[in-house]
Amino acid sequence: MNSVIKGAGYVLVHAPDMVLHAGTTQTTEKIVNPDSEYLKELPNHIRSYEDVVAYMPNQTYIGNMTPEELAEHEQPWVGKNMENAQRYGKFGEIMPQDEFLVLMQVCDVFELVYLDKEFVSATKDKLAADPVIGEDIMAKVAEGIDGAEIKRLVDEEHAEPLYHMGNLVGCVKRAHDVDVNLSAHVMFENIACKASSVLALLHAVKAAGIDKADVEYVIDCAEEACGDMNQRGGGNFAKAAAEVAGLVNASGSDLRGFCAAPAHAMIEAASLVKAGSYKTVIVTAGGCTAKLGMNGKDHVKKGLPAIEDVLGGFAVVISANDGVNPEINLDMLGRHCVGTGSAPQNVIGSLVAAPLAKGGLKITDVDKYSPEMQNPDITKPAGAGDVPLANYKMIGALAVKNGELDKKELASFPAKHGLVGWAPTQGHIPSGAPYIGFAREDILAGKINRAMIIGKGSLFLGRMTNLFDGVSFTIQPNSGAQAEEGVSEEKVKGLIAKAMKEFAETLMADADAE
């Protein structure tokens, strides 16, 4: 019996000071070209929290706007703020930087993160007001230390400074005097990744309506590595985040595969559940501070804001078949193999056409494809084009080559079977995953019948292989089959009622929007 997608959480963290101080484009520039015009100009291109919340792709990410609604607005979307934009959405939230710094401190269990006590007292209550932040988390907020001591730790003890609105408000100490894997900078990156994963986990649990104690396993598919000099990527982000999120019955592990990792992790989770190993598994990923402002030079040069100013996180709850929620079909998995080659047509063939052929389906039988959903506002000015659109053109072109689509229909293929991109360039975050929450809803509502999630990864960046990578899977309506135990008729009725209610709310929201 196939596993089902019970719900998903999507979070963004506004990180303006981290763009300036932690993004590798900026840190590299400070080394090779410290007096550059770019570094002088960049601070004038940082967006306010309000602008980040009102930015339509961000509102789409947290579920306050559908991809279809976003597509109705002409690109670029930057500068066209949404009215009445909200911090919270049905999938998650856009957390401001100050609250996130406190959450980072909560996520540090080795006394490495220190915050200014005045900053903590000014911020604490704001974080406590977040509906997913419980008393268990607030109990871990430390009082903070004197600003002068923070400055000393930064100046004399190699601590990584933490800024908010240009002010030094805290630091991350190094966890070892010699080991570069535990340096202050690495600890900062890892704790930021962990904290955004925790936030995503909390929202996913809420969205799926499950009990925290139900979660038996967590798979982290981010792109950071934690470990020490004897085991550089030892792990385990998954269990570390599950601990803070209060998933007391969960174990977990990390899965890595660059941007393809979320799709790999979803398949692994669905398989573990289908096999009966675990009943409920969450796939989670936090964000990547290094990628903040990655294409900032191009954005600044073109007079745009530095749009890569948010950390992304997501978490998807996969559980045993409840007879209601959409299923992950494991009989039609796409796989880029060692022998597939790197020609784009081979890549798309192995990820799209080959798995569909296994199920006797054509490319046009999939209603919506979700490959890499990078926001074109970010990638187009940087010379990478519109990544989702390029993927749809490739899929359409393959359908033409295979005789499944008339060449005349190629032009309309992307709009019909595709989506516009709304995800920040946080590596693994845009890769297929952003659509899972919407796909679940659209299938429950009967709007679509089949969605394909495609993850692709640039393995060559790790200099271990020149190979490309990717996997794909399809999501389909529930076949009505139920797990043998644990799901009563009453529960099913409850789930149906919940789904109907959600659908009704969507309709009402649509009506309101009109």
Q: Applying CB under 8 A, which residues contact other proteins?
A: 28-29, 32-33, 36, 259, 294-295, 297, 341-346, 348, 372, 374, 379, 382-385, 387, 390, 393-394, 397-398, 401, 425, 427, 430, 458, 460-461, 466, 468
**Structure tokens, 329:** 């079909």
Q: Identity (one letter) of the amino acid at 450?
A: R
* Nearest distance, CB of residue 393 and other proteins, angstroms: 4
Question: Do 102 and 95 touch, CB atoms closer than 8 A?
Answer: no
**In the complex with other proteins, which residue's Cβ is closer, 174 or 297?**
297
* Nearest distance, CB of residue 370 and other proteins, angstroms: 15
> What HEC string does 55-114 produce?
CHHHHHHCCCCCHHHHHHCCCCCCCCCCCCCCCECCCEEEECHHHHHHHHHHHCCCCCEE
Question: Do 420 and 67 touch, CB atoms closer than 8 A?
Answer: yes
CA 308 → CA 150, 191, 324, 375, 480, distances in Å? 28, 19, 37, 10, 42
* Nearest distance, CB of residue 427 and other proteins, angstroms: 7
How many residues does this entry show for the chain? Answer: 514
* Nearest distance, CB of residue 265 and other proteins, angstroms: 19
**In the complex with other proteins, which residue's Cβ is closer, 303 or 360?**
303
Question: Do 353 and 363 touch, CB atoms closer than 8 A?
Answer: yes
* Nearest distance, CB of residue 394 and other proteins, angstroms: 6
Residue 74's CB is within 10 A of a number of other CB atoms, namely 7
* Nearest distance, CB of residue 182 and other proteins, angstroms: 26
How far out from the chain centre does Cα 372 lie? 12
* Nearest distance, CB of residue 440 and other proteins, angstroms: 25
* Nearest distance, CB of residue 345 and other proteins, angstroms: 4
**In the complex with other proteins, which residue's Cβ is closer, 117 or 401?**
401
**In the complex with other proteins, which residue's Cβ is closer, 225 or 318?**
225
**Structure tokens, 400:** 């033409």
CA atoms of 375 and 92, how far apart (whole Å): 18
**In the complex with other proteins, which residue's Cβ is closer, 32 or 139?**
32
Q: What is the CA radius of gyration of the chain?
A: 22
CA atoms of 105 and 482, how far apart (whole Å): 42
**In the complex with other proteins, which residue's Cβ is closer, 252 or 427?**
427
